[in-house]
A and B are shown apart, each in its own frame.
Chain A
Amino acid sequence: MSHTDLHDLSVAQLAAKLAAREVSSVEVTQHFLGRIRQHDSLGAFLATDAEISLAQARAADARLAAGERTPLLGVPLAHKDIFVTRDFPTTAGSKMLENYRSPFDATVVARLGVSSGAGMVSLGKLNCDEFAMGSGNDNSAWKPVQNPWDTTRVPGGSSGGSAAAVAARLVPAATGTDTGGSIRQPAALTGITGIKPTYGRCSRYGMVAFASSLDQAGPMARSALDCALLLSSMAGPDPDRDSTSLDLPALDYATDLIAASAATTGTTPLKGLKIGLPTQFFGAGCSADVLKTVRGALAEFEKLGATLVDVSLPLTELSIPVYYVIAPAEASSNLSRFDGVRYGHRAAAYTDLTDMYKKSRSEGFGDEVTRRIMIGTYVLSHGYYDAYYLKAQKIRRLIAEDFQKAFAQCDIIAGPVSPTVAWKIGEKSDDPVANYLADIYTLSSSLAGLPGMSVPAGFGEGGMPVGLQLIGNYFKEAQLLGTAHQFQLATDWHLRRPTGI
């Protein structure tokens, strides 16, 4: 196989070639660095450094030469710029953190990395909405990201750089973070696969904090199997670093999937699986092309033996105000650390300390971040806390309880990820409420802390990808990945690629 084809290989295939010593990690890394340079205009990357990536690749090759055979050794990836890294700058997509260098690696970065982890080589840092706030990646302070399927459209957000890079085959896999849909929605809009695990599955240590009770890391790749390979290394307790990380060991998600593909070919592998369809996810709010594609995918699941049942999540619409009270409240608290003293932007001229805080913060934060800090500060301020924040946290419990009632009737919940395919860059940029409304199908499971996936399901308006959302009960990542894997064994939507890339 020529090197020009390396970018078409999956994580699993690249790992196999590396393990067989058919190709070195340095060769693979050089190839992908070339792809990244070639497609720089997509705006997917915020930082690359060939020397550092190649040094990591040499370290991986040394481990391979010493006989080590682990599932991800030597395979490259890139990290969303929300994860702090020692080797690359970290900006969280914000001018506030221009030139910031973290003294440490995020736990997820360390677990996947070469020096103390699974042996993956980092190709750099991926563009995202500023502090992960946005759904089109047009809130990045640096540059917008283009959707490889149509470069006049957004890739989704906030993990838009991760999604575009995977879809354009600039990386075989990437990390993302999801607070209200930021892994699932860009995965859907770019035709790739992504999973947001149960809240607490992956350590939040070293993820620049947005909304601490919602933020969760997850992998983005082209298939469920590749996501399973990454998640097996990313997940697991981090007792000394993240007090909200769950005391549950990571599972070997991939081995089960590989065993399942061998065992069930040509049968009805999903026999007995009940898929619940929330009536609220299939209403007038969803555009016809997305609904048609999602229903087509669900018909495929029926062919594989699954049964479809109607369920109800009556508070779905309420998840929008509840989320947009809770997330900004937590953000306003988290982002108070950016004061121009210990790190981050400091204004050039000011009169006193308070003026320095105000000028530094106003210059450093973009419009959407400022707006959310304002909302959050207001809902937490004296006299409004009960009416807004506490009220939202109570409805949050009701939303989570509704999911438990639904899961009494089904194993997995399915529906669209986004009510439309990717929109044109700039189309919604000055209408925050319109952006918030488009998050409707991802917010409720985020508030409940449930694991959710986006799986490529076909194409809608303008030939743009559509994602099917699968939501599992707590800790059921393996079931989600297994179900998606069976769908991907029977269909080839996840193998389709944008033309001209």
Chain B
Amino acid sequence: MALTSQDISRVANLARLELRPDETEHTLRQLNGFFALVEQMDAVNTEGVEPLAHPAAVLGQVALRLRDDVVTETNQREESQKSAPAVERGLFLVPKVIE
């Protein structure tokens, strides 16, 4: 099943990416080449197989740890905002979203 340029535009929008028209064509060709490779997966019978997320789960259950619900971080607002593109009075600035 080949992708169309509409698919590319839809996916780019979902991913919040903007492709130039020539990039859309190029990306379409490359993604179709890639999905031809992915079709090999259809031939594998996976009925009743559980998906594997944490690789070590193959050996048995991997417990999700819980830590104590206590404050461990100190306030590092200034250091954290040092690399922000636009900051004012400790707040991240974005374009107006509510009229």
Contacts and interface: CB of A to CB of B under 8 A. Distances in A.
Nearest to B49: A394
Contact of A200 (B7, B27, B56, B85): B56
A401 B58 contact: yes
B65 interface: yes
Nearest to A328: B34
Most buried by A among B11, B33, B50: B11
A71 interface: no
B42 to A, nearest CB: 8
Interface string A340-365: 11111110001011101111011001
A213 interface: yes
Nearest to B16: A357
A213 B67 contact: no
A285 interface: no
B37 A320 contact: yes
A398 B49 contact: yes
B83 interface: yes
A463 interface: no
Contacts of B34: 324, 375, 432-433, 436
Interface in A448-498: 448-450, 474
Interface of B: 3, 7-8, 11-12, 14-19, 27, 30-31, 33-34, 37-41, 44, 46, 49-56, 58-59, 62-65, 67, 72, 76, 79-86, 92, 94-97
B54 A374 contact: no
Nearest to B77: A103
A336 B16 CA distance: 8
A353 B17 contact: no
Interface in A314-347: 315, 317-318, 320-322, 324-325, 332, 336, 339-346
B27 A371 contact: yes
Interface in A92-107: 99-101, 103-104
Interface stretch (A56-64, A129-137, A237-245): A237-245
A395 B46 contact: yes
B47 to A, nearest CB: 9
A377 B11 contact: yes
Given A240-B67, A374-B27, A378-B11, A324 B56 contact: no
B31 A397 contact: no
Classify the interface of chain B: helix, strand, loop or mixed.
loop
B38 A342 contact: no
B29 to A, nearest CB: 11
Contact of B16 (A103, A342, A345, A358): A358
A205 interface: no
Interface of A: 99-101, 103-104, 198-200, 213, 239-240, 243-244, 246-247, 315, 317-318, 320-322, 324-325, 332, 336, 339-346, 350, 352-354, 356-359, 361-362, 365, 370-371, 373-375, 377-378, 381, 388, 390-398, 400-401, 404, 432-433, 436, 447-450, 474
B31 to A, nearest CB: 6
Nearest to A89: B83
B81 to A, nearest CB: 8
B20 to A, nearest CB: 9
A397 B49 contact: yes
Given A213-B55, A397-B58, A433 B95 contact: no
A373 B53 contact: no
Contacts of B64: 243
A388 B84 contact: no
Given A315-B44, A371-B30, A244 B54 contact: yes
A474 B11 contact: no
B65 A243 contact: yes
A397 B50 contact: yes
B85 to A, nearest CB: 4
Contact of B31 (A343, A345, A374, A447): A374
Contact of B15 (A332, A448, A450, A474): A332
A30 to B, nearest CB: 30
B16 to A, nearest CB: 4
Contacts of A375: 31, 34
A352 B95 contact: yes
A310 B82 CA distance: 56
A444 to B, nearest CB: 11
Closest 6 pairs between A and B when the two form their complex, measured CB to CB: A449-B55, A393-B51, A346-B85, A103-B79, A397-B52, A394-B46
Given A358-B17, A381-B14, A474-B59, A344 B65 contact: no
A395 B51 CA distance: 8
